[in-house]
A and B are shown apart, each in its own frame.
Chain A
Amino acid sequence: MDLPGLVLAESFLLETKADAAWLKADKLRNRMKRRWNSFVWAGFGIALLAILSYFLVFYRYPATRDVPWVTYLLFVPAVALLVVGVRRAFEQPEQYRGKISGPILSTISISLIGLFCYMVLVLTKELPAASAALHAGQQAPDFTLADASGKPVALADILKKNRAAVLVFYRGYW
């Protein structure tokens, strides 16, 4: 091969190499350009917030504890955002990211929502039959128990001093 020929071949080789590198960078640039799928993350965040807020805030107030309507209400936008987010991740993958994070975050969110509903609708209702308890008209058995300072307190003594007593049985903090 003569010298000009060699130079030509060399420059051709270099050119293709540069082309390949440019193409790679372009692909990368494209991927970077794909937008962050904010809906998926917002949906996940709201689902998490809904459950945490029940235990940290709404559990304290009977109006939002007995029927956790605020929590249920927050589940609606959470699920809606997740659905829209995952759909656009799969339907417009060139525009939006979230093909992996979307399904993962959705699964976690749905599991948490399911667990919460199971707890509220099933778990806390598992109680022994109410018929076992003493009922109105029956005589209350007298008892003596220690109060918080260790002093014995008898029901009979309380009833002597008062018109009536409300006995509040509670589960305790163990």
Chain B
Amino acid sequence: MQDFHSRGVEVVAISVDSCEDSKKLCQSRGYTFPFLSDPKADVIRRFGVLHPRAGMNDQDIARPAEFLVDATGTIRWVNLTDDIRVRARPENVLTAIDAVMPVAASNR
């Protein structure tokens, strides 16, 4: 996490889980970054990462995906997996951040 914050990047997790579920998850895993709840999958749909009826009880859920959004709100990098078991690793995301928006260039 420190690696993200030292680059001025906040990590935000989004899923259809309820606030209570996210709270439990954060407490059990010790996550300190925001976990946002999108129970109706509105935001998930707007980002185009909806996986229809893939959840329990045919619920619409998000496919695993990572978006890097800069301060102007522009998407700078996207990672979509083709296998739900295979997720971006933190070091991959950090590499991408350094590649598309290096710290030195934006700070000065």
Pair from one complex: yes
Q: Write out the residue numbers on chain B whose beta carbons fall within 8 Å of the beta carbon of A133.
A: 47-49, 65, 78, 80
Write the A141-174 contact mask toward B (1 if CB under 8 angstroms, else 0): 1110111111001011011111111111111111
- Complex-state Cα separation, A159 to B11, whole angstroms: 11
- Complex-state Cα separation, A153 to B19, whole angstroms: 12
For chain B residues 51-87, which have a beta carbon within 8 Å of chain A?
51-52, 54-57, 59, 61-78, 80-87
CB distance from B88 to the nearest CB of A (A): 8
CB distance from B82 to the nearest CB of A (A): 6
Given A140-B69, A173-B25, A167-B9 contact (CB < 8 Å): no
Number of A-B pairs, beta carbon distance below 8 Å: 206
Contact in complex: B75, A147 (CB < 8 Å): no
Contact in complex: B12, A164 (CB < 8 Å): no
Contact in complex: B49, A135 (CB < 8 Å): no
Residue in contact with A145 in the complex, picked from B36, B82, B85, B87, CB distance below 8 Å: B36
Write the B11-33 contact mask toward A (1 if CB under 8 angstroms, else 0): 11111110101110110000000
- Complex-state Cα separation, A128 to B65, whole angstroms: 12
Residue in contact with B78 in the complex, picked from A135, A146, A172, CB distance below 8 Å: A135
Q: What residue of chain B has the Cβ atom nearest to residue A152's Cβ? A: B36
- Complex-state Cα separation, A169 to B77, whole angstroms: 14
Known: A165-B10, A167-B47. 10 other contacts (CB 8 A): A66-B83, A136-B75, A140-B69, A148-B35, A155-B12, A158-B12, A166-B4, A166-B66, A172-B17, A174-B16
4 closest Cβ pairs, A-B complex: A163-B8, A172-B15, A145-B36, A133-B48
B interface residues with partner A (beta carbon < 8 Å): 4, 7-17, 19, 21-23, 25-26, 34-38, 42-44, 46-52, 54-57, 59, 61-78, 80-87, 89, 93, 97, 100-101, 103, 106
